[in-house]
Amino acid sequence: MAPGAGHKPVLLDEVVGWFDRPETKVMVDGTLGGGGHAEALLARLPGIGRYIGIDRDADAIERCKVRLAPFGDRVTLAHASFFDMADEVKRLGVGPVDGILLDLGVSSYQLDQGERGFSFMTDGPLDMRMDRRQERTAATLVNEADEAELVRMFFEYGEEPKARRVAKAIVEARRNEVIESTGRLARIVEEAAPRKRDERLHPATKVFMALRIAVNDELSGLGAALQGAIGLLAPGGRIGVIAFHSLEDRIVKRTLADEERRCVCPKRHPVCTCGEPGRVKVLTRKPVMPGEAEEADNPRARSARLRVAERLR
């Protein structure tokens, strides 16, 4: 199979459409993943002379070295977090950029590789680290976090209604064992909160998502990272962000709205009188979502939401 075959980039035509303009010459992709968006943007938009691809997962970078090789020196890859995008771009000696793409969350490659521990569909070590240079794994959290911390994580990041029951079951299980595998954790969750008859989701789905978000610290700092990314854009440059999780999308929406109106009025003022102009204009009043055909073709796209903003000054 060709590298990348079988993994479908979400909202692909929409993403290409927002960047399809003569101004798009230098782009940063902060979440390169399988390189699906990157390949399409490079192939369909020949005006892109420099495409900087960043991922915190070394496997993604290695895979994209092969997949994007046909584009030669138009592509530069960096193993880093997009939270440090400004430093990475500066290190490469690149000035302001014309386009930034962030397709947040986990890639289907990560989910499909049992040994990475992101999924309960195949048994593997409880790992879930996107960047394997990091020490903390899912096993660290599952075996060491106290019960209240587990409850908060499952409620907040997973919106798991049975968070208390699941956390209690984990704490009870670990009195006798170290919970080391995705399969074992999935069974503990399933026993504590069995699936109702009409439920589509596996009982462990939300718990696994919550753990992944916590292990990789995906939400705290996202707002600041988006502000940093906007700071890198040239006037007229665009940023597109795809979120899959409601908390994530809320941070994206709020950060772009704040950037649109950088009001400096004291909080007690009922209306804005400073008229401080924002740094961006939000181009998507409502998030762009996949159409029925894409949803049917790619169930992982279902919760995707794309928001786009343009730098003004």
Q: Which residues bind ligand SAM (CB under 6 A)?
A: 9, 30-31, 33-37, 54-57, 60, 81-83, 103, 105, 107, 130
163 or 288, CB closer to ligand SAM? 288
- The burial class, CB within 10 Å (0-12 / 13-18 / 19+), for 93 is exposed
110 or 182, CB closer to ligand SAM? 110
178 or 224, CB closer to ligand SAM? 224
Q: Label the pairing between strands 233-243 and 305-311.
A: antiparallel
Please report how close the Cβ of residue 270 comes to ligand SAM at its closest, in angstroms.
38
Pick the closest to residue 77 from 142, 117, 28, 111 (CA basis): 28
Please report how close the Cβ of residue 19 comes to ligand SAM at its closest, in angstroms.
13
Rounded CA-CA distance 242/226 in Å is: 12
102 or 169, CB closer to ligand SAM? 102
78 or 193, CB closer to ligand SAM? 78
Please report how close the Cβ of residue 29 comes to ligand SAM at its closest, in angstroms.
7
Please report how close the Cβ of residue 97 comes to ligand SAM at its closest, in angstroms.
16
Tokens standing for residue 170: 């984990």
Closest chain position to ligand SAM (CB): 33
Please report how close the Cβ of residue 106 comes to ligand SAM at its closest, in angstroms.
6
Rounded CA-CA distance 226/241 in Å is: 9
Instruction: Please give the angle made by the CA atoms of 123, 125 and 131, to the nearest 5 degrees.
Output: 125
Q: Are 274 and 267 in contact (CB under 8 A)?
A: no
Look at residue 168 and give its three-state secondary structure: helix
